[in-house]
């Protein structure tokens, strides 16, 4: 006994096939050409964050963010020391640890 396909089933299958084909065509058209990466060339030095601490005299720390292969991560160096690869949120978390909170003289 062969499988019998109803008219309604044929219509649904055709609609689904057209939707899959249209989605595949859209995906192919949305791809960025490989030779067009010059649009995304970023500068070697991406950001500079300068922190001036005035608590016990003036202390200036300069954080430099350099380009990596990923757009959302950086090589971060502090005052020309060895750089470490991290993202912006990790940098902000480590920055809060780097400058710990001090007890106020009024709290004593």
* Per-residue confidence (pLDDT) for residue 100, from 0 to 100: 76
Q: What is the CA radius of gyration of the chain?
A: 28
Residue with tokens 């300069």: 62
What one-character-per-residue DSSP string does the chain give? -PPP--HHHHHHHHHHHHHHHHHHHHHHHHPPPGGGGGGG---SEEEEEEEEE-TTS-EEEEEEEEE-SSTTEEEEEETT---EEEEHHHHHHHHHHHS-----GGG-
* Per-residue confidence (pLDDT) for residue 32, from 0 to 100: 55
* Per-residue confidence (pLDDT) for residue 50, from 0 to 100: 93
Mean pLDDT (the chain) is 81
pLDDT in tens, 21-71: 888 887 766 665 555 555 567 778 889 999 998 888 898 989 999 988 888
């Amino acid at each position: 006994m062969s499988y019998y396909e109803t008219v309604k089933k044929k219509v649904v299958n055709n609609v689904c096939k057209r939707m899959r084909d249209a989605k595949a065509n859209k995906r192919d058209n949305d791809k960025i050409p490989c030779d067009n990466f010059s649009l995304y060339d970023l500068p070697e030095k991406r950001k500079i964050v300068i922190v001036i601490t005035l608590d016990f005299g003036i202390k200036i720390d300069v954080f430099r963010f350099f380009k990596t292969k990923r757009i959302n991560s950086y090589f971060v160096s502090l005052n020309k020391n060895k750089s470490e690869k991290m993202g912006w949120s990790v940098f902000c978390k480590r920055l809060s640890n780097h400058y710990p909170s001090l007890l106020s003289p009024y709290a004593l």
